[in-house]
Amino acid sequence: MYLDNDDEKVLAGEFGETRQKMMEILVALGNVYGAEKLVPIASAQVSGASYKTIGRWGLSWLRSLDARVAVPTVLNPIGMPREGWQEFGIAEEFAGHQTEVIE
């Protein structure tokens, strides 16, 4: 898969370990699907944002990253309402983990 000079630098780790990991994932997916190159994006959707879905292992992986969005980004549905979650009987421990996933 073709990468431009900036993408090659990301893959080489010149912009940090987190961006390098993400580029490795994109390149691997590109190879699986036979992509010729990356395409520029103006926005993104993040899936796997519910603690109920990713659990403690996913949260542990997120904690290992120094990740921030680089384009306007929306989340898939999460495991609770951001406000008023107590009214639904959601455990405080779960709420704390879900909030950490969002952050």
- pLDDT, one tens digit per residue, over 31-69 is 999 999 999 999 999 888 999 999 999 999 999 999 888
- pTM of the entire predicted model: 0.78
Q: Residue 37: CB partners within 8 Å, gap ≥ 6?
A: 1, 2, 3, 30
φ, ψ of residue 2 in degrees (nearest 5): -70, 130
Mean pLDDT of 2-14: 97
Cα–Cα distance measured from residue 67 to residue 45, given in angstroms and rounded to the nearest whole number: 15
Q: What is the mean pLDDT of residues 79-102?
A: 94
DSSP annotation of 35: -
Contacts of 25 (CB under 8 A, 6+ apart): none
Q: What is the pLDDT at residue 13? A: 97
Mean pLDDT within 18-34: 97
